[in-house]
Amino acid sequence: MGIRILVIDDMPAITMLMSEYLTDQGYEVITAENGQEALELMELTPISLIICDVMMPKMGGFEFIEKCRKLSSHIPIIVVSAKSGSNTRSIVSELGANGFLEKPINLEILSRLVTSTLASQLKKHNIIPPDIVNQRAHQRVPFFCEAHFQGESVSGVTVTTSISRGGCNLEIHTVLAVGTLLLVKIKLHPGHTITAVGSVCYSIPKSGVGLRFLSLDEESEKLIDSIVGTIANMELFDLEYRDHTGKLIDTFVNKFDQEPNFAYQEKLA
């Protein structure tokens, strides 16, 4: 069994959005419409991490977290809610939640929060080896770089926000149909280019486009492996994102702005 995530929300569109995105990241995802249904599912199958809304019928997030913590102290819980006031954050933290993300959901931030929360919790409780988070088909890391893209009816220049051997996220705010084919050239410094043909697996105005690579040449594979390996080992990537996610992401971007000749070049020689 891989990493199984339980997504709890009474809005089908939101559960579908998170489920499809996390599935594309390589996780197993099951969903529930409320806390009561989630507790019943937890009796039937092991869960690695929970993503939970606050306002739900039958059993809301507060009551669910309280009951869940009586069953297990180590399953990490991330709360996602439009109720983003300090009081809500304080309550869920006191009840035992491990992280909080405000709606509307930024899927890239959600992915990073899931990764950091899993790694932190697994290491803390020594349940399973901490590198379990790398058992996804392809490890994904934050990566900001110029990218040129071209499709049958769309083309332009943008930036990547994350990358893996399996695909990348592009800051394309035009909604593209799932399955759209794009030729992407990611311009690296100094003079290296990752060239790939990919298929759009999701397209969300505020989160960009997720591209699943269908074709990579050998040089591009080596470049991506080098980038992923280097960034995954950076001290910043090991930090918890939690409530100060935005600050850490800004720090990460600034690091790349200040150090254009970052470490992966050493592996390109």
The Cα-based distances of 269 to 9, 30, 88, 222 in angstroms read 48, 44, 51, 12
Span 42-59, pLDDT tens digits: 876 778 899 999 999 999
Q: Where are the domains of the chain?
A: 4-134, 140-269
Asked if residue 116 has pLDDT above 90, the reply is: no
Q: Other CB atoms closer than 10 Å to residue 107's CB: what's the count?
A: 22
Q: What is the DSSP string of 6-34?
A: EEE-S-HHHHHHHHHHHHHTT-EEEEESS
- Does the domain at 4-134 match CATH 3.40.50.2300? Answer given as yes
What's at 179, amino acid-wise? G
pLDDT confidence of 179, banded at 50, 70, 90? confident
**219: Cβ contacts below 8 Å, ≥ 6 apart:** 192
Taking alpha carbons only, the member of 203, 208, 202, 168 closest to residue 185 is 168
Decide: pTM greater than 0.95: no
What does the pLDDT read at residue 268? 35
Q: Is 187 helix (H, G, I), strand (E, B) or coil?
A: strand
Q: So what's the architecture of 140-269 in CATH? A: Beta Barrel (2.40)
CA 81, 98, 132, 222 dihedral sign is positive
Domains 4-134 and 140-269 equal at CATH topology level: no
